[in-house]
Amino acid sequence: MPTYDLLITGCDVLTRQDGSYVVVNDRDIAIAANRIRAIAPAGQIDRAQAREAIDAAGMLAIPGLINCHTHAPMVLFRGLAEDVPIESWFNDYIWPLESNEEPEDIYWGALLAIAEMIQSGVTTFADHYFFCDEIAAAVEESGVRANIGWAVFGHEGIEKLDATCEFVRRWQGGAGGRITTWLAPHSPYLCDGDFLRATAERAKALGVGIHIHCSETQGQVALSLKQHGVTPAVMLQQAGVFEAPTLLAHGIALTHDDIAMLKGYDVAVAQCPKTYLKLAMGTAPVRAMRQAGIVVGIGTDGVVSSNTLDVLEQMRLLALDQKQAARDSTVMPLQEVMAIAFEGGARALRLPEIGELAEGKLADIVLMRQDGAHLFPRYNAIANLVYSARAGDVDTVICDGKLLMRYGRLLTIDLPRVRAEITRRLRRLNQRVAEKRLATYPVTQD
């Protein structure tokens, strides 16, 4: 019987040597079940030991990309809120649109989003959305890995919070371990202290983490100081949220004191710079967070702000925005971008077995073509990955040892059918009735 289920032959591999990310050439990668069992110079592993082989000569193998913060089914509204201010974006677009959603919409929306992520080399995503059973079903079918949190607003009450705990119980460890579940209160500005405290207690009792928006704009921080006398981060701390593993989305307006305080907790921050640029929200203090030892990962946010679920693009924008904001082209060097995207992503989702191509790790692997003119010469393969490669270069995607895309063709999702199902729903979904909105964004006067 063959030792390996899959042998990837002759590729370049993004890996780590002495703490640095490097690209080594001409390697074979052997996979058994859902794990990487060997990475060896090409030819060393006997081809006959593998049930199936993929010739990956000329390709670059990277760890499956990790999307630490998104609202995947919002792909249903792609392009519906362009060039608008953030308050209008929430109150006139997003929340009225989302009031139209029904559970089956979410299932098809999640499949479309997962198709886009697979095509972009993303194998794991952290979702913060509604009707999460449908999202979990789409994850289970499509073969990707996800951390799913059912978003809840304080005004929906404890009963709704408890319903999201039931989702956690139903799906924790689901899809053969590919699904993890967390609690997902929306934000300190839409969940009061008591609601946050109740969330923290439940998260601790369930043994799960909390995924929440925090300090997205300076205006939110000013409003929190006015209304509560503390920053949103301190409000979370006081409610006990940080006693559970926490993933903060954005943190653009975290203060110096917030960052010093966060050092004492198991808190990570997801960065989605395309949203910050497009909605003109400012630039997060990523270097200060990292200097304080806070884990930072990369997310895409939902596509109504960022238009794509493309983590490669967000990596590039993170570096570009950080350099420009600091007026210093030496900040956020290539090694740091790699550390945030891969190690940071894995740590932010508390999934230590992903984010690295090494023996024993889970087999989440993306093969990227390198034959485009934009990737030559290859003096610096990591610079090419961060600043030249594009999602269109993704050729083959493996998650948990299974092939999800090969030669650019999706293997687990029938995209034409997904498009057809969504097309039937578009007219109902794109209505906007202000009174029907899910919630109201407070005026913050940024």
Interacting positions 334-373 with a copy of itself (CB under 8 A): 334, 371-373
**Is residue 41 close enough to count as binding a copy of itself by CB under 8 A?**
no
Interface with a copy of itself by CB under 8 A: which range of 107-115, 132-140, 247-255, 341-349? 107-115
**21, 353 in Cβ contact below 8 A?**
no
Q: Tokens 């994850």 appear where?
A: 139
**Residue 158 DSSP symbol:** H
CA 15 to chain centre: 21
Do 233 and 223 contact (CB within 8 A), yes or no?
no
- Least distance from C-beta 69 to a copy of itself, angstroms? 18
> For residue 368, what are the β-bridge partners?
60, 394
Binding flag, residue 222, a copy of itself (CB under 8 A): no
Figure out which of the listed residues 89, 90, 107, 342 binds a copy of itself, where binding follows CB under 8 A: 89
Rounded to an integer, what is the distance from CA 194 to the centroid of its chain?
28
- Positive or negative, the CA dihedral 123, 126, 130, 131 is positive
Shortest Å distance, C-beta 366 to a copy of itself: 15
User: Which range binds a copy of itself by CB under 8 A, 42-50, 79-87, 234-242, 249-257?
Assistant: 79-87
Helix (H) or strand (E) holding 259: helix 256-262
Candidate list 40, 426, 434, 443; residue touching a copy of itself; CB under 8 A? 426
Compute the least distance from the CB of residue 220 to a copy of itself, in Å.
15
Q: Choose, by CB under 8 A, the member of 66, 86, 233, 354 that binds a copy of itself.
A: 86
Query: Which range, of 38-46, 204-212, 244-252, 415-423, touches a copy of itself by CB under 8 A?
Result: 415-423
Q: Is residue 423 at the binding interface for a copy of itself, with CB under 8 A as the rule? A: yes
Tell me if 112 contacts a copy of itself by CB under 8 A.
Answer: yes
**Angle between the 103-119 and 132-142 helix axes, to the nearest 10 degrees?**
40
Segment lying near a copy of itself (by CB under 8 A), choices 127-135, 259-267, 387-395, 431-439: 387-395
Under the binding rule (CB under 8 A), the answer on residue 57 touching a copy of itself is no
CA dist list (Å): 244 to 197, 206, 214, 233: 11, 10, 15, 14
Which positions ≥6 away from 243 have C-beta within 8 Å? 200, 204, 265
| Residue burial 330-344, b: 16+ Cβ < 10 Å; e: rest | eebebebbbbbbbbb
- φ/ψ of residue 158, rounded to 5: -65, -30
Residue 115 binds a copy of itself (CB under 8 A): yes
Of the candidate residues 60, 75, 168, 362, the single one contacting a copy of itself (CB under 8 A): 75
Nearer to a copy of itself, 282 or 442 (CB): 282
Residue selected from 10, 174, 392, 442 as contacting a copy of itself according to rule CB under 8 A: 392
Among 163, 205, 260, 383, binds a copy of itself (CB under 8 A): 383
With contacts defined by CB under 8 A, name the span among 30-38, 111-119, 124-132, 195-203 that binds a copy of itself.
111-119
CA proximity to 11, closest of 400, 396, 408, 383: 396
Site for a copy of itself in 246-275 (CB under 8 A): 274
> Who contacts 6 (Cβ-Cβ below 8 Å, separation ≥6)?
30, 31, 50, 51, 52, 53, 54, 363, 398, 401, 403
Taking CB under 8 A as the rule, which mask of x and - marks residues 289-328 in contact with a copy of itself?
--------------x--xxxxx------x-xxx-xx-xxx
